[in-house]
Structure formats: C-alpha cells, structure tokens
Amino acid sequence: MLSQEAILENKRQEFAKMQRNPASVLQNAEVERLSLYEFLRVFWSEVAETNFKDNWHVEFICSQLEEVAYRVAKGLPADKDLIINIPPGTTKTIICSIMFPAWCWSMGWYWMRFITASYSAQLALESAEKSRDLIRSDKYQMVFPTLRIKEDKDTKSNFRIVKRMENNRFRNGGNRFSTSVGGTLTGFHAHILIVDDPLNPEQAASEKELENCNRWMEQTLPTRKVDKEVAATVLIMQRLHQEDPTGRALKRKPDAIKHICLPGQIIDYKKFLYPPEMEEYYIDGLLDPVRLGPNALHKLMEDLGQYGFAGQIGQNPAPPGGGMFKVNRFPVTQVVREIDVRTTIRYWDKAATEDDGSYTCGVKMSRMKDKSFVIHDVVRGQWSAEVRERMMLQTARNDGKKVRIFIEQEPGSGGKESVEASIKNLAGYAAYADRPTGEKIRRADPYSVQVNISNVTLMEANWNQAYKDELEIFPFGTFMDQVDASSAAFNILAAKKEVRVL
C-alpha cells in the first residue's frame, strides 16, 4: 500500500503532466472528469500571473463547492445554502468566482446559469472577465472543444455558453450575469448564486451601507433563483461586522446554512473555527503558513488594527480578549462607601423612538477620591418618547438631587428640541445638555484605558452581563448606547467638563 507521501507525489506528477499537455486529460482513463481542485491546478496559469500556491484549504473549499454543484445538477432539494468565512488573500475569488462556473460548464452542465456579485461592480466584472478569458483560452478549448461563448451574447456583465452537439449545431446553454451587491437583477435568474465579499470594511462601518447590503441579500437575491427548491446560494466572505450578511444569516436561519469558518490563525480564534475537526490541518495554529505566515499576520495586524484583524483574519468581528474593552478586568463589588465618593452623575443616551430598535440608556457613574471610577447602575430600555421621559424622571427621583444629570444632544434642531424637552421634564433636578464631538471610538478610548487597568468597578447587579457583552464587541456590535453613555459620563467626570445649562 502506497504511503501518503507517495500518493501525494503521484498526484503532483499527474498534475505536472496535465499542465504540460492539457490534451492528455482526455486521453487519461483515470481522469474522466477533473475535480474542481484538479481543474484549478490545470488552468491556474490562464487566470493568474503568480505561481500556484497549494494549501489544504484550497482543496477543501473546492470540495464544498463541488457538493453544491452536484446537488443542483441532479435537481435535488436544497436544504442548506453555503457560507464560507475565510481571510482575504487565500485564493477564494479565483476558486469561487472565476474557476467554479467554468468548471461546472465543463462537467456537462452547460445549461447552468449563474449570478455572481461582489461589493463593487468593478470587482464583479473583473472576476467575470477572467472567467470568460479562461473559457476562450487555447488550453480550455483544447480540453473542452465543444464549449464556447456565444458570439452575440458576449459581454463581461452577461455572457452565455453554447455547446456543440453531435450534429455540429450549437445549443444554447447557461449564462453568467455579474453585478454589484445592491445592483439590479430584474429579469435574471440562476441555478447557483455566488456572492464574493458583499461588503468592504468601509461599507461595513456605515450603518446605511450595511443595511442596504443586508436588504439586498435577504429580499432581492433569494427571488432570483430558477427553482426555489433546488437553486443554491454560495456566500464567501471575510467577517466585518456582527450584523454583516454572515451574522444575519446565522441569526435568522441557522438550520438553513452550511457554515464553514476558517480563521487565519486559531491561536486566538480557535472557538470560531468550524467545523472544529479542521484544526488538525492547521500548522502551528496557522491556516496557511505560506500565504499567512507569522510575518504576514504581524504586518496585517499593523495595517488593519485590532478590529480589522479580528474580523478579516480571525473571522470574529470583535478583537480577541475583549478588544478595546477587556471586560474580564472589571472589578465587581457589592458595597461602595459614600465617604469615598467624590462626584456622581447620571448620563443619558436617548433613542429617538421605540420603533427604531435602539435603546435609551442612563449610566450612573462616580469618580472616587482615589481617582478610580464606579458604575452604580444602568437603566436601559426601548421606550416610546412618553415612557422614556417618565422613566428618566423616576430614575432622577431614585438617584436623588445630589446626582447631576447629563443628556446627550444630537446634532440639529431636532436634537436640541429633544434635550430641551427632557430638561424641562426634569425640573427641580440639575440637568444639563452635553454635545459630544468626534467619532464614537475616539470618545470611548479614554474610558477603555481605565477599564483595561481595572480602574472601573461595577456594582454587582443583573445588568452587569448585558453591559459587558456590549463593551466586549464594541464598536462592531448592533448596539452602542451603554458604551456611549459610559464614555460620555467618564469624560465629564475625568475632565471636569463644563456644560451649558439650557
């Protein structure tokens, strides 16, 4: 019996032979049909300027895509869509967006239709163009001489395959339509829908862009299937936000997703590896020591920062160990002596309405005489304006008149009117408007420093866990009200900030 090394060596020699003489593929009885991985190896030079770099994840991803294609080709019901999370620079676009459709057509499934999308039209069209160039190449035409691109249906955004039949007539086959996420799909349907990186990091940081992407993924794309029972969606991406398309899909329909998650390293991100048995293929905790070795990862950490690295490399849209906030460093106490307190305030971050899904949050914080800080209480809820004002007044009564109240004033006349109404509602209490400036992350940074050196203590209460959960994934979580209120309260207490009384 051949050893594993001997099997691999035979395989390498077979690939080398096919690459030197593609026609041998048709003459070799042992290779009746190329697997997607073999196809990738043979035709790599037609789409890439660099030499092929192998790694176990390449063949693994190919095998997952093959499963999808074989099921669709047989017309079997689709019980799960495929989501693959993997770092950039791991050949995912060449495998999924460039090679996969061309391979499917070569398998005799010339009728298959594809819709492919990426975060930008330029990126989507570039992948489509390379796939089209592959099919036109001498090597592809030598190995698969019955397939070609239809002359009058030949654009980067939409090209059609035709197959030469035994009577030398051509039969129309499937097509590939490429667009940007959010682009129009009217009139187009597909057997396999491929989305390669639906967001870039800048888009993920924009609530509007993120919402638009998710709406397109959830409401537009699913309607473009040829057969809703059989057609499949393949999403391959790096994680960028807790509510990115992967996060949303896993939250909304976990039983309808086959999830593959391959972090760039599992030294810090092992719990995000899925399926977990893939750990045996990691070398020294690294997914791909050639593409993503220690030096490359170190450089990526410098370039991306801790948040970008966590999402794009770790496939976790929050950095390891708590990110900006190391929440395991919060001391917790049951008693705070009044004699040790220097100043106490309550800071409110108000949501506009109960219908927009946001929270109103009021954080009660003290600066102590020893220059440490204590969070006594967090009041939080999704309330209508009327209920919100009632809750703020009741909280002020519970705190007592010694506790000064600060309310964040949003920009614009609406924000001013809202804070004025709240201050009037709190007549009899020392209430002030606060106008924070700058980005949320920058405003939260001074507070995070104190948290991370264990200089902020929490009063033990049932709100502790929800509070720490939000801080742990900041700034990529869905909600930021507790962070905003806490960092604003801290900045006032630490800087003795003067505020204008309305």
Q: For position 4, what pLDDT does the model report?
A: 44
Q: What is the mean pLDDT of residues 227-254?
A: 94
Query: 49 in a domain, yes or no?
Result: yes
Portion of the chain with pLDDT greater than 70, in percent: 89
Q: For position 264, what pLDDT does the model report?
A: 97
Q: For position 354, what pLDDT does the model report?
A: 54
Burial class (CB in 10 A: 0-12, 13-18, 19+), 246: buried
DSSP 497: -
Q: What is the mean pLDDT of residues 460-482?
A: 91
Same domain, 114 and 235: yes
Query: 272 in a domain, yes or no?
Result: no
Instruction: Please provide the size of the chain in residues.
Output: 502
Same domain, 365 and 223: no
Query: 322 in a domain, yes or no?
Result: no
Select from 208, 232, 261 the last residue of a domain: 261
Q: What is the mean pLDDT of residues 409-436?
A: 91
Select from 214, 239, 261 the last residue of a domain: 261
Query: 290 in a domain, yes or no?
Result: no
Select from 261, 282, 312 the last residue of a domain: 261
Could you tell me the residue range of the domain that residue 236 belongs to? Answer: 33-261
The sign one gets for the Cα dihedral 160, 190, 58, 108 is negative
The CB-based long-range contact list for 133-136 (8 Å cut-off, 24+ gap) reads: 133/46, 133/47, 134/43, 134/46, 134/47, 134/98, 134/99, 134/102, 135/102, 135/105, 135/161
300 has a pLDDT exceeding 80: yes
Portion of the chain with pLDDT greater than 90, in percent: 73
Q: How many domains does the chain have?
A: 2
Which helix H or strand E contains 43, and what residues bound it? Answer: helix 36-47
Same domain, 239 and 355: no
CA pair distance 251, 350, nearest whole angstrom: 27
Query: 227 in a domain, yes or no?
Result: yes
Same domain, 233 and 335: no
Same domain, 233 and 376: no
CA pair distance 298, 278, nearest whole angstrom: 23
Query: 111 in a domain, yes or no?
Result: yes
Same domain, 456 and 365: yes
Q: For position 154, what pLDDT does the model report?
A: 77
β 360-368/341-349 pair status: antiparallel
Helix (H, G, I), strand (E, B) or coil at 410: coil
CA pair distance 418, 441, nearest whole angstrom: 24
- Name the nearest CA neighbour of 147 among 118, 167, 121, 173: 173
CA pair distance 302, 309, nearest whole angstrom: 9
Q: What is the mean pLDDT of residues 143-165?
A: 91
Query: 279 in a domain, yes or no?
Result: no
The CB-based long-range contact list for 44-53 (8 Å cut-off, 24+ gap) reads: 44/94, 45/19, 46/133, 46/134, 46/137, 46/139, 46/140, 47/94, 47/98, 47/99, 47/130, 47/131, 47/133, 47/134, 48/94, 53/91, 53/290, 53/291
pLDDT, tens only, 319-347:
554 468 889 999 999 999 999 999 999 99
Q: What is the mean pLDDT of residues 76-82?
A: 91
Same domain, 250 and 377: no
- Residue 167: which CATH number? 3.40.50
Query: 99 in a domain, yes or no?
Result: yes
Same domain, 199 and 63: yes
Same domain, 79 and 204: yes
Same domain, 365 and 221: no
- Residue 386: which CATH number? 3.30.420.280
Same domain, 253 and 332: no
Please report the DSSP string for 292-314 in residue order: S-HHHHHHHHHHHHHHHHHHHTT
Same domain, 383 and 237: no
